[in-house]
């Protein structure tokens, strides 16, 4: 069978570059440069994402987002890790731990006290006695006018 090409063309190396190592080094340098760019971009994006996450967690907890500057860089940016860090070091920034603030606000807020009583009824299945509720209201009275209002007595 006859072929349409010259067999000598298969071994013609004049069109190929003679210095392959030089070209490989050039390709290697461009790849290393691109790798450095991508690593820098990755680091920048990770840092920005971490800062945003920490600030969002702090804002959700009602804390000034500027506190994020004091959160250690090696701390995981998850909500749980930031919350644990706040519980441990929050007193430095005037932040009260979740349990303290909830217990203090619940003791001062009548709506939260009523909600607590409802939760107790649901969890135990027994309603609080009327005497217990009235006693707690009378114990919190600060003057005679409040006592009269509580008892429904009007003084002219």
Dump pLDDT digits (tens) for 16-36: 556 898 999 999 999 999 999
Q: What is the largest CA-CA distance in the chain?
A: 129
Q: Angle 121-125-128 (CA atoms, 0-180°, nearest 5)? A: 45
Examine the domain organization and report whether 25 and 84 are in the same domain.
Answer: yes
**Does residue 7 sit within a domain?**
no
Q: Where does the pLDDT of residue 76 fall: very low under 50, low under 70, confident under 90, or very high at 90 and above?
A: confident
String of b and e for 50-78 (b: at least 16 CB within 10 Å)?
bbebbbebbeebebeeebbeebeeeeebe
pTM for this structure? 0.44
Domain count, the chain: 2
Q: Looking at 72-76, 82-86, 91-95, which range is the least confident one?
A: 91-95
Q: Where does the pLDDT of residue 59 fall: very low under 50, low under 70, confident under 90, or very high at 90 and above?
A: confident
**Does residue 8 sit within a domain?**
no
**Does residue 102 sit within a domain?**
no
- Within 8 A by CB and 6+ apart from 137, the residues are 150
Q: Which domain holds residue 115?
A: 109-156
Examine the domain organization and report whether 89 and 123 are in the same domain.
Answer: no
**Does residue 120 sit within a domain?**
yes
């Amino acid at each position: 069978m006859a072929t349409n090409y010259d067999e000598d063309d298969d071994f013609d190396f004049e069109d190929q570059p003679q210095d392959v190592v030089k070209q490989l080094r050039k390709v290697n340098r461009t790849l290393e440069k691109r790798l450095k760019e991508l690593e820098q971009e990755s680091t920048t994006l990770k840092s920005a994402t971490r800062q945003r996450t920490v600030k969002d967690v702090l804002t959700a907890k009602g804390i000034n987002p500027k506190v994020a500057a004091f959160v250690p860089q090696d701390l995981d940016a998850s909500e749980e890790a930031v919350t644990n860090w706040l519980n441990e070091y929050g007193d430095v920034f005037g932040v009260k731990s979740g349990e303290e603030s909830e217990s203090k606000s619940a003791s001062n807020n009548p709506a939260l006290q009523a909600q607590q009583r409802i939760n107790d009824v649901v969890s135990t299945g027994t309603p609080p006695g009327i005497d217990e509720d009235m006693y707690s209201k009378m114990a919190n009275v600060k003057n005679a006018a409040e006592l009269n209002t509580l008892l429904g007595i009007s003084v002219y």
